Structure 1
């Protein structure tokens, strides 16, 4: 294999990827992901495992998958082909394919004991996402580190995008220099796709190598934005003055992450819904979105699980996670109910505990129900019970900077290496108001 200098903007991988386990890289066969594979192989500091998802949407998809396998063999990486099988939807195909792809990738990573999956999003993808959001899409802004968007099944798998400062054309130049071919998926030029239309409209504007492109949204200093007193109970509290001072795009991103994480789901809200929520915040009054309840109160904006939504939909049970919000190691999630369903069955002591908590967090807390006994889990020193809401919120907003900061993010008693200036946001529960 020929060697060539890495494109301008390629980061210091040894600083970001400071672990020692194997890395996964998702490769479709397109120029971006093939270039990333060869650059990771040239870096040469970690064992690589290549995952390729065959969506079965193109007659040539099997050949594309085989070509990725050949690339993996050429660089000495392990290769796994993943297949999206079953019926495909007649509408919303792109979104369904994305969810299926991330589900397959997360499952494969977890089965292989891999926590970091490298993706090949570029500066051009940031520009496209920015324009798509301006046209009403709920597409997220690519960032260097983020948790798997499949939740809770993707818990513990983190996506790393090392190419966000690199231009797409520079990657193709790199591949030409080292004599490596790639595939151009015709779906990328299908005008039925918003992304394809946006890509075509931006192509002339950003064709020059030095043309400016929008970078990821700047985020505020989270310790100045977030009040953490009741974080262990699944409550995200934002300081109203800090929120209202944010640029609108930043505020929308913070709200999007907050309602999804507090709601325990993974479906992003539509932009119009977020804009409506942001506009209504100054007026006060409770609102709901994505399974969350948003309630401005004095100088704070509280965002937490909507008990009414739990009452309508059974809480998701997956891999020792209840309702997408709590790790319940050693407990069966099927034995857990929300307070709003069993309040009358609680002991007088538990009802007193509830009365001491803010009203907004009471109805959605977990209760262990076995036979004729119901116990409010937060009222007991329960080992193995951890709230995932705030760590997930932090991760979604890009607080992770290095691989070493990932250790124990979901399911431990600390938030390592991220916010040393304030208490760890999500400790094991040791009774109301008590922190380790």
Structure 2
């Protein structure tokens, strides 16, 4: 008899040990995986639609996936809110309340899977964006520093959403929470002069901004602390325990707001230039896009070849944000991506070369440019790198009134005169011309 009883007890224990844990069942089935898939799909569509603006630049990819939290956070909050109202929709609140588990355990069983799945969806979207950038990256390296803080913020939003879903008895709570979260984050992002903007986990940053090492940690403590404080205040038997994560969140928030712009510094690579000194002028690009130097130098090779032996030209083109010195010319901007450069390629090399020629001329905004000055500028631009739109505007003047047609004839004559010069004569003329660059000195501009 004792053996039978022992065998029966062993069988029950075996069956009980084989029953899946509620947390495992919630994580593998039901709404939580769908919520993660929704975050991944939504961010995937949004990132794919703006790929031209970030694909090919590691810093741009990091900034874009960081700002994607503006969508991921409210979406995770809505998912958590919908999960929080599950028992109410099923009319099983009273039955769920009779379970032997503690209230906090009953809360965390559906909450943690949604938080983890939505965070995983965001992390997967960011990882896929980095994989999409890798084949086209022209320099620099991946920038994953913001990912931990952003991922924790998405999980925290889901946890907060579940608390709202338990408290607010309405099916509209989830969409309204998503809208409120999006508007709230948008208002924080727009408050560029207020210290509270640094509390926004999706605050937009510059491509050259790099966080100090503890910024993601502080942001994670700020968002996770608020979420855990709300969860403990709602579900813990001793609600005073919510004060501990709340105090941590307040401390982290104070650090973020008090530090302000000191949370960010310029990436060291953004201050470096790499140059091709085999030409005159030399060609320099930002070190973040060092791989584009051969392509840029090739686009400008027609100009540098024609300027061989010409004096008074700038010694180099440089891609810098500050105003160029007399010995430098501003290289046409490679950034923001999506204009001159898309996926590591120049979109219009001819337009790029024409803009580089205009930078060499460096003619300031003269209030009353003379005809000699205008004809010389037009002839030099047409000789070195004509604008892709030059023929279009010439055709318009050819169909215009008498003054337009007369101006066109003079421009064509000046272009022809420069092109017809001998090599040495043209070099001398161009040397005299570039000696006047940067001024409005009419007398110094050579005639054609």
| TM bin (shorter chain) | under 0.3
Higher helix share: 2
More strand by share: 1
